[in-house]
Amino acid sequence: MSNDLEHRSSPPDFGDDEMKDDDQMFKSATLPVTDDIPLSEDDEEDENPFGEPSVSKKASTNINELSTKNDTPLTIPSVTPIAVLESPPMKQDNQFFPSDTGINSIESSTQPVYENQSSAISKPITNENISTTKPIQKPKEDHNIEITVNDPTKVGEGMSSYMTYRITTKTSLSMFKQKEFSVNRRFSDFLGLHTKLVSKHLQMGVIIPSPPEKDSLSMAKVKISKDEGIPTDFIDRRRSQLERYLNRLAHHDKLIQDPDFRDFIEMSSDLPKSTSTQALSSAGVLRALSNITNQVTKLTTKTSEQDQWFEEKHTFILDLHTNFKQLFNHFNTLFTQRKEAGQALKLLSTSLNHLATIEEHTLLSSALIELANVEEKIEQINIDHSLKEYTLISELIKEYISLLEMVQLAFQERIKLHQQWLTAEDTLKKKREAKLKLEQTAKNVDKLPQAEMEINEWDGKVIRGKEEFERISTSIKQELENFEQTRIDDFKQGIQLYFQQLLEQQEKILEIWESYLPEANKINL
């Protein structure tokens, strides 16, 4: 059991042995250079347990029908219709995902994917079923909080320098002392916060958002650059990623109440220097998943998952993770090809200018010069669109790849608690058998009190193990409902903005060509 306590008190070890591979995401100081993420080779095979409560309306009853069984009909005056028939429909607010979480509630017409799936967790070993009824939650105050990250500032010079970011919070939540406050934090503080949150909340089944990964190469360029030469594109991307990370934490009902998070955004003084600041890279999370899986393989093989909901949801998460990585790689390929197309347009524009200088026909020369200008404008439009597309779509997909890896860690934590429960039951069974043997032997009567104490101790461990397993199972189900709705909302908004930018790009290109058309028509004169 000491190993379990150590595992709970410290987060999984995410080494940075492969950080060099992860840090190749942004190689250029002007444009991000993309790297493909290798697909994991051993993807395993993995509904909403809590369907929307059915609200049945009372059937109307004709009062006059009550007298049909009597010989003499009753004369009953007309009565105003019962208010039950005209009662307003029940408000279909999701009590587990109120509006204060910043996540739009699911419309009544949208049903969960696994609506008909049983919500009860099948018993893993004992004869008792695990109750997974949702706890009744008290109404919460509106989750009105907005966090912005701005004013990136370089502190110091040379390789010992670092960047600080100004974090401004505006909120009406009563848990905070002020409605608006600001603090300065460095990047290592974000990583230290994440480490603390993982160590406290992962064992509770909470899906914890991941901060941006380290980018040692780009950060080294920032450290050695003068103020006017700092790669602003990298700094702005990181600022945007940190802002999204903090807002995800702030809109989580449990994480926003964490003392470490509240101190992070509210305490004006500097935080203690973090000793463990390794970001959860894809490789690091997958290594942690592999280590945890290896530790629990023996027990999980003989006690396979009996809850159909978890089995199907686990398969869905693995498939979604694989598809997101493939999609991310395809967008990276598209980004690379567009960057190459932009370079080709630049070369074409240069060649057209050279051709125009030696052309003797004045109108044709003028048309070639204007065509070169058109290609330069189109090149700039394509570059701007590629950067926006990368920030809007590619980084969103990359963020959800990390989130899905944290979901897998939560599933593994549940498996670990399941094993601890089974181990406690096996040990309790052995202790009782040992006590029975002592009772059958007269010369070992003095050992019976100690045996009884051990039985009581392990009986308590079995009860606690069952309670912890029930708690994390219920928590993961609620977290996944929240996660799914957030994912749908994020990608819906992202895709809409992406299509809008595509239309704007095409309209700009169309305007450029329309303005060039009169110049081209002059050649026929």
**Domain harbouring 253, CATH code:** 3.30.1520.10
454-488 pLDDT, tens digit per residue, is 999 999 999 999 999 999 999 999 999 999 999 99
Q: Average pLDDT of 187-194?
A: 93
For residue 14, pLDDT beyond 50: no
Distance CA 175, CA 281 (A): 33
Q: Average pLDDT of 355-380?
A: 90
The answer to whether 278 and 284 are in contact (CB under 8 A) is yes
The answer to whether 14 and 208 are in contact (CB under 8 A) is no
256-301 pLDDT, tens digit per residue, is 999 999 999 999 888 887 665 554 444 454 455 555 455 544 444 4
* List of residues 6+ apart from 476 with CB closer than 8 A: 205, 310, 410, 411, 414
What is the band of 73 on the pLDDT scale with cuts at 50, 70, 90?
Answer: very low
Q: Average pLDDT of 227-254?
A: 87
What letter does residue 461 receive in the DSSP assignment? H
Q: Average pLDDT of 19-48?
A: 43
Any domain includes 205: yes
| Strongest mean pLDDT among 99-108, 160-169, 516-525 | 160-169
- Cα dihedral across residues 178, 181, 187, 188: positive or negative: negative
What is the band of 304 on the pLDDT scale with cuts at 50, 70, 90?
Answer: low
Distance CA 324, CA 393 (A): 11
What is the band of 519 on the pLDDT scale with cuts at 50, 70, 90?
Answer: confident
Any domain includes 157: yes
- Cα dihedral across residues 434, 436, 441, 444: positive or negative: positive
| Strongest mean pLDDT among 85-89, 134-138, 207-211 | 207-211
Q: What is the number of structural domains in the chain?
A: 1
Any domain includes 1: no
The radius of gyration computed from the CA coordinates of the chain, to the nearest angstrom, equals 31
Distance CA 332, CA 324 (A): 12
pLDDT value of residue 123: 40
What is the band of 3 on the pLDDT scale with cuts at 50, 70, 90?
Answer: very low
Report the percentage of the chain scoring pLDDT > 90. Answer: 44
Any domain includes 55: no
- Cα dihedral across residues 421, 426, 427, 428: positive or negative: positive
Min mean pLDDT across 15-29, 69-83, 114-128, 336-350 is at 114-128
Tokens representing residue 58 in the block: 């009372």
Min mean pLDDT across 119-123, 183-187, 301-305, 494-498 is at 119-123
What is the band of 376 on the pLDDT scale with cuts at 50, 70, 90?
Answer: very high
Domain that holds residue 218: 142-222+230-269
Tokens representing residue 188 in the block: 């290592």
pLDDT value of residue 229: 67
Any domain includes 166: yes
For residue 303, pLDDT beyond 70: no
pLDDT value of residue 108: 36
pLDDT value of residue 390: 87
Average pLDDT value for the chain: 75
Any domain includes 237: yes
Any domain includes 460: no
pLDDT value of residue 275: 63
Min mean pLDDT across 140-149, 257-266, 355-364 is at 140-149
pLDDT value of residue 433: 92
pLDDT value of residue 276: 57
The pTM score is 0.66
Report the percentage of the chain scoring pLDDT > 70. Answer: 66
Any domain includes 147: yes
What is the band of 447 on the pLDDT scale with cuts at 50, 70, 90?
Answer: confident
